[in-house]
Amino acid sequence: MLDVTIQNFEAEVIQASMSLPVLVDFWAPWCGPCKSLGPILEKLELDYAGRFKLVKINSDEEQQLSAAFGIRSIPTCVLLIDGKPADGFAGALPEGKVREFLDKHLPPAAPEEVEVIEAVQDAQPQPGSDEAIAALRAAVQAAPDNDNLRFDLLRSLLQAGYDDEVKVALAPVMLKISTNRKFDAVQRILNAIDFEANYSISTSEKVDFSSLILTNKRDFDSRFALAQIHIGQGRWTEAMDELLEILMRDKTWAEDKARKTYIAILEIMEPPPVKVADGQIPPQDPVIASYRRRLSSVVLS
């Protein structure tokens, strides 16, 4: 799921729909039915494993986009294929009806890909374990074009500390990094890991970023450097705390680098989805949910 604005609409919706159907969910924070439909759409994006892309547009904040699509009520979903609206629906449909809608337009998954995905979901090994990584390696080998499976492998490798293998597994999709938020997240984490590694082995006198921050709370370069060190050493929440300090003072600093890195951490921390019965919402990690709320509070304030 990706939040879309007028600034990234062309790349994330129009251009993306040339190669993959894109489902646009028009919603608003105050909309009750939107809150029931949203988790269903996010679950289906995972279940369909790369057969469509889900994006969300806040109709209150992006009124120009809402007007362009003629949105009169929310939630409203529009499916774009080859750069043009192909179909849509309004209201909070139940999961079964949304599946019927998607199945009318999406290409079927290859039988062998379905078997691989179901096998990985049914096994549900401990995230980041050798068993999970082995299963995901086999899954990606069987379905190399499935971006969701590849990201699950990349995330598990990062969580296990197999940084070199992450770079190898990311290489085939390097051209997608600029348009795929999950692959962009992996690259940002790798950048931080490399920064921390170079900092740790530096033979020259090390910069004390914490002291610099105490002297100047708006020394965002030092805060970002400290956040990168935290990431490289696996201190995810400490890194997000530093990034939040930047965002509270400058929401768009360095072309959104702090916000995008914060989101990257959440992507990597997020555990793989737990398979649940139809109609049920997978449980949320309380730490991740808390940090998502903190980000929203700062960015939307």
Q: What is the structure's pLDDT at 198?
A: 92
Q: What is the structure's pLDDT at 248?
A: 95
Q: CA dist 67 to 217, 230, 243, 279, 300, Å?
A: 41, 43, 34, 32, 22
Q: Is 31 a catalytic site residue?
A: yes
Q: What is the structure's pLDDT at 88?
A: 95
Closest CA to 154 of 117, 115, 188: 188
Q: Residue with structure tokens 């002297």? A: 215
Catalytic residue, from 4, 13, 22, 31: name it. Answer: 31
What span, in angstroms and rounded, lies between the C-alpha atoms of 8 and 86? 21
User: How big is the CA angle at 128 (ends 274 and 144), to the nearest 5 degrees?
Assistant: 80
Q: What is the structure's pLDDT at 280?
A: 58
What span, in angstroms and rounded, lies between the C-alpha atoms of 145 and 59? 32
Furthest-apart CA atoms within the chain: distance in Å: 62
Q: What is the structure's pLDDT at 206?
A: 81
Catalytic residue, from 16, 24, 34, 79: name it. Answer: 34
What span, in angstroms and rounded, lies between the C-alpha atoms of 179 and 95? 28
pLDDT of the chain along its 301 residues, tens only? Answer: 788 999 999 989 998 898 889 999 999 999 999 988 998 998 888 778 778 999 999 999 999 999 999 999 999 999 999 989 999 999 999 989 999 999 999 877 655 555 555 555 555 555 567 888 888 898 888 888 888 889 989 999 998 999 999 999 999 999 889 878 889 999 999 999 999 999 988 767 788 999 999 999 999 999 999 999 999 999 999 999 999 999 999 999 999 999 999 999 999 998 766 665 655 556 678 898 899 889 888 876 6
Q: What is the structure's pLDDT at 293?
A: 86
Q: Is 77 a catalytic site residue?
A: no
pLDDT tens for 226-254 read: 999 999 999 999 999 999 999 999 999 99
What span, in angstroms and rounded, lies between the C-alpha atoms of 169 and 77? 34
Q: What is the structure's pLDDT at 147?
A: 85
Q: What is the structure's pLDDT at 268?
A: 92
Q: What is the structure's pLDDT at 230?
A: 97
pLDDT tens for 32-43 read: 999 889 989 988
